């Protein structure tokens, strides 16, 4: 199967991990997405690095497909929606939201979300400075240092990856969903974010994205 289904929390909530690097929660009619960093291509181009804007348009097209496929009513961006200062990519993102007028877009502010508040003043957007509690899930950008008993922290920020090693010296690091100690960390959705290799222990669960599939992997 291309996806991987897990159940978490007191309510045994079903979360569907998708190889598109997002989580679909059927009972919420929602997608959870972390670290899109839209606009980063424009940021690079301003610095003289030739990155095509079409790549971000492809990422938005992929989201449109998921919205239609699952009948999504809400999208929760877990921070770092837009990379730093305003550029033309913002208007591309706004056109995307207008194409999905029945969807409510939720933004939990991340460290790169520094645009003026006026940018988010639209009826489709709901913005949260500190995080959002929904049922027994706490949605944040950065992982909480201490997760209250009975809650699950779903977050981003880290850009987790898992390094797989072959019998020789070959190795590759793949994006993954990472679960440990009441925290579920999403992979970065943006393609210019890099990966942070996670050090696995027997208490960790990795759900690695490989060949458009989700594979559970135990490093120990």
pLDDT (tens digit, 9 = 90+) per residue, 51-79? 555 667 888 999 999 999 999 999 999 99
Sort 109 into a burial class: Cβ within 10 Å, 0-12 / 13-18 / 19+. Answer: buried
pLDDT (tens digit, 9 = 90+) per residue, 180-197? 989 999 999 987 677 888
d(CA 124, CA 75): 10
d(CA 199, CA 15): 24
- The pTM of the full predicted model, rounded to 2 decimals, is 0.90
pLDDT (tens digit, 9 = 90+) per residue, 66-119? 999 999 999 999 999 886 667 777 888 889 999 999 999 999 998 878 787 888
């Amino acid at each position: 199967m291309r996806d991987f289904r897990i159940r978490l929390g007191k309510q045994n909530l079903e979360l569907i991990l998708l190889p598109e690097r997002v989580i679909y929660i059927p009972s919420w009619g929602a997608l959870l997405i972390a670290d899109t960093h839209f606009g980063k291509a424009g940021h690079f181009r301003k610095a003289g690095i030739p990155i095509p804007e079409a790549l971000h348009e492809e990422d938005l097209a992929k989201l449109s497909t998921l919205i239609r496929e699952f009948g999504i009513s809400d999208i929760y961006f877990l921070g770092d929606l837009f990379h730093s200062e305003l550029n033309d990519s913002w208007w591309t993102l706004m056109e995307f939201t207008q194409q999905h007028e029945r969807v409510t877009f939720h933004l939990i502010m991340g460290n790169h979300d520094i645009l003026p508040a006026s940018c988010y003043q639209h009826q489709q957007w709901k913005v949260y400075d500190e995080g959002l509690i929904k049922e027994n899930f706490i949605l944040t950008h950065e992982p909480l240092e201490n997760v209250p008993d009975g809650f699950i922290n779903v977050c981003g920020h880290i850009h987790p990856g898992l390094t797989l090693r072959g019998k020789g010296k070959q190795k590759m690091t793949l994006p993954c969903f990472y679960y440990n100690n009441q925290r579920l960390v999403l992979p970065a959705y943006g393609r210019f974010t890099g990966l942070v290799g996670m050090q696995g222990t027997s208490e960790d669960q990795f759900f690695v994205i490989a060949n458009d599939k989700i594979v559970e992997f135990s490093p120990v």
